[in-house]
Amino acid sequence: MSAKNILIASITITLITLTFAPAEAKAEPTPNFVVNYVIRDSLDPETGDKFIVSLELEEIEYDANAIAWVIAKASFIEIHPDGTETTWRIDYPDTDLPNNLWWVEHENPENPNVSEFAAVPQLIGTATPISPDNDFLQYEFRGDGLTTIPSKPTLLAAKMTFKFKKQEDPIPLEEEEDEPVEIDPPNPDFD
């Protein structure tokens, strides 16, 4: 059985907008900070959102003006033309950083600014669908820092590289050939 792969989006060095989302009250631990990366078809905020990558961050340690954050949860939300959403999540995704600690320099560590989270570490993995009827999502996502848009100087935007691909099964099962297996000789005392 082969896995079904559907490429959703693959863009290199694109521009996306950054937003801050206050942490909602939940029964589970509350993240210290949530950053949403909103991907649109164009830079016009009037066009509908295409995809949102939401990173819930937890503060682990700090040093002067830098804070070490860990990504506690990454959510990938595809927004369909009819307004419905498909969501995938992964807890504590792996990054390309030692111990998955994302050190971010802050002008004011007591009040981090969303613009300070534009250089997202490389995230590569497979996220689980929230609804079991959906496929898994293979993702690659990285931020290369803030950028300016001459026609929209007040728009907070970042250069990003990302790829999203739906897949039925995150690990295709390989068919193994029949191999000989040793069988113990029958026990003469057992009849």
Share of the chain above pLDDT 90, in %: 32
Assigned token pair, 120: 């997202």
End-to-end CA distance of the chain: 43
What is the pLDDT confidence band of residue 81, given thresholds at 50, 70 and 90?
A: confident
Rounded CA gap, 115 and 113, in Å?
5
Dihedral angle, C-alpha 175, 181, 186, 187, nearest 10 °: -110
Query: Is residue 172 scored above 70 in pLDDT?
Result: no
93-130 pLDDT per residue, tens: 999 999 999 999 998 888 888 889 889 999 999 999 99
- Helix, strand or coil, per DSSP, at residue 178: coil
Q: Give the model's pLDDT for residue 45.
A: 59
48-71 pLDDT per residue, tens: 668 889 999 999 998 888 999 999
